[in-house]
Chain A
Amino acid sequence: MNFDRAARRKYFSHGMTVLTGLSIVVIMIPLIAIIYEAASIGGSVINVAFFTQGIPYPCNSPPAASCQQGGVIVPIEGTLSLLGLASLFSVPVGVGAAIFAVEYGGERASARVIGIVADVLSGVPSIVAGAFVYIVMLAYDPSIVFSTLSGSLALSVLMVPIVTRTCEEALRTVPHSVREAALALGISRWKTSVRIVFVAALPGVVTGVLLSIARAAGEAAPLLLVLGDGCPHPLQGITNEGCALPLWIFYGATNPYHNWYLLAWGCALLLLLIILILSISSRLVLERLARRMRGG
Chain B
Amino acid sequence: MALPEDAAKVDDRNLNAYYGEKMQVQNLSAFYGENRAIQDINMQISDRKVTAIIGPSGCGKSTLIRCLNRLHETAPKARVEGSVLLDGEDLYKLDATAVRRRVGMVFQKPNPFATMSIYNNVSAPLRFNGRPSRDELDAAVLRALKQAALWDEVKDRIDSAATGLSGGQQQRLCIARALAANPEVLLMDEPCSALDPIATAKIEELIGQLKKDYTVVIVTHNMQQAARVADNTAFMYLGKLVEFGPTEELFERPKEHLTESYITGRFG
- What is A's interface to B at a CB cutoff of 8 Å? 106-107, 175, 177-189, 191, 195-196, 199-200, 292-293, 295-296
Q: Is B113 among interface residues, defined by CB-CB distance under 8 A?
A: yes
A107, A184, A195, A292: the one within 8 Å of B128 (CB): A195
Interchain CA distance A186-B129 in the complex, whole Å: 8
Known contacts A191-B128, A295-B161; A184/B105 CB under 8 A: yes
| Contact residues in A for B102 (Cβ distance below 8 Å) | 186
B77, B98, B125, B163: the one within 8 Å of A185 (CB): B125
Interfacial residues of chain B within 110-165, with CB under 8 A of chain A in the complex: 111-115, 124-125, 128-129, 161, 163-164
Structural contact, B128 and A187, CB atoms closer than 8 A: yes
Nearest-neighbor residue (CB-CB) of A203 within chain B: B115
Known contacts A184-B69, A185-B181, A191-B128; A295/B114 CB under 8 A: yes
| Contact residues in B for A191 (Cβ distance below 8 Å) | 128
Structural contact, A185 and B74, CB atoms closer than 8 A: no
Q: Would you give the shortest CB distance from B110 to chain A, in whole angstroms?
A: 9
Interchain CA distance A187-B129 in the complex, whole Å: 6
Structural contact, A181 and B125, CB atoms closer than 8 A: no
Structural contact, A178 and B124, CB atoms closer than 8 A: no
Structural contact, B115 and A187, CB atoms closer than 8 A: no
Known contacts A200-B114, A295-B161, A295-B163; A185/B124 CB under 8 A: yes
| Contact residues in A for B17 (Cβ distance below 8 Å) | none
Nearest-neighbor residue (CB-CB) of B115 within chain A: A200
Q: Is B71 among interface residues, defined by CB-CB distance under 8 A?
A: yes
Q: Is B221 among interface residues, defined by CB-CB distance under 8 A?
A: no
Structural contact, B111 and A185, CB atoms closer than 8 A: no
Structural contact, A186 and B97, CB atoms closer than 8 A: yes
| Contact residues in A for B104 (Cβ distance below 8 Å) | 184-185
| Contact residues in B for A189 (Cβ distance below 8 Å) | 97
Interchain CA distance A53-B61 in the complex, whole Å: 73
Interfacial residues of chain B within 41-100, with CB under 8 A of chain A in the complex: 69, 71, 74, 76-77, 97-100
Structural contact, A187 and B114, CB atoms closer than 8 A: no
A181, A196, A200: the one within 8 Å of B174 (CB): A181
Interchain CA distance A175-B107 in the complex, whole Å: 14
Structural contact, A184 and B76, CB atoms closer than 8 A: no
| Contact residues in B for A184 (Cβ distance below 8 Å) | 69, 71, 100, 104-105, 107, 178
Q: Is B211 among interface residues, defined by CB-CB distance under 8 A?
A: no
Structural contact, B76 and A107, CB atoms closer than 8 A: yes
Interchain CA distance A241-B25 in the complex, whole Å: 70
Q: Is B177 among interface residues, defined by CB-CB distance under 8 A?
A: yes
Q: Is B172 among interface residues, defined by CB-CB distance under 8 A?
A: no
Structural contact, A292 and B107, CB atoms closer than 8 A: no
Q: Is B22 among interface residues, defined by CB-CB distance under 8 A?
A: no
Interchain CA distance A290-B64 in the complex, whole Å: 35
Interchain CA distance A230-B148 in the complex, whole Å: 69
Q: Can you identify 7 A-B contacts, CB atoms within 8 angstroms?
A: A107-B76, A181-B112, A182-B124, A184-B100, A186-B100, A187-B128, A293-B114
Nearest-neighbor residue (CB-CB) of A187 within chain B: B128
Interchain CA distance A185-B115 in the complex, whole Å: 17
Known contacts A107-B76, A183-B71; A177/B114 CB under 8 A: no
Q: Is B109 among interface residues, defined by CB-CB distance under 8 A?
A: yes
Known contacts A180-B74, A181-B107, A295-B161; A186/B115 CB under 8 A: no
Best-buried of A175, A181, A293 by chain B (most CB within 10 Å)? A181
Q: Would you give the shortest CB distance from A130 to chain B, in whole angstroms?
A: 40
Structural contact, B114 and A185, CB atoms closer than 8 A: no
| Contact residues in A for B98 (Cβ distance below 8 Å) | 186
Q: Would you give the shortest CB distance from B259 to chain A, in whole angstroms?
A: 30
Rank and list the top 5 A-B pairs by shortest CB-CB distance, nearest first. A186-B101, A295-B163, A186-B100, A184-B105, A177-B111
Q: How would residues 165 to 195 of chain B score, 1 for a CB under 8 Å from any chain A CB and 0 otherwise? A: 0000000001001100100000000000000
Interchain CA distance A179-B107 in the complex, whole Å: 12
Q: Would you give the shortest CB distance from A148 to chain B, in whole angstroms?
A: 37
Interchain CA distance A180-B114 in the complex, whole Å: 14
| Contact residues in B for A183 (Cβ distance below 8 Å) | 71, 74, 100
| Contact residues in A for B125 (Cβ distance below 8 Å) | 185-187
Interchain CA distance A69-B161 in the complex, whole Å: 55
Nearest-neighbor residue (CB-CB) of A186 within chain B: B101
| Contact residues in A for B177 (Cβ distance below 8 Å) | 181, 185
| Contact residues in A for B124 (Cβ distance below 8 Å) | 182, 185, 187, 196
Q: Would you give the shortest CB distance from A3 to chain B, in whole angstroms?
A: 51
Q: Would you give the shortest CB distance from A190 to chain B, in whole angstroms?
A: 10
| Contact residues in A for B97 (Cβ distance below 8 Å) | 186-189
Besides the known contacts A177-B107, A178-B113, 16 further A-B residue pairs in the complex with CB atoms under 8 A apart = A177-B109, A178-B111, A180-B107, A181-B107, A181-B111, A182-B124, A183-B100, A184-B104, A184-B178, A185-B100, A186-B98, A187-B97, A187-B125, A187-B128, A200-B113, A292-B114
Interchain CA distance A106-B76 in the complex, whole Å: 6
| Contact residues in A for B71 (Cβ distance below 8 Å) | 180, 183-184
Structural contact, B69 and A185, CB atoms closer than 8 A: no
| Contact residues in B for A292 (Cβ distance below 8 Å) | 114-115
| Contact residues in B for A175 (Cβ distance below 8 Å) | 111
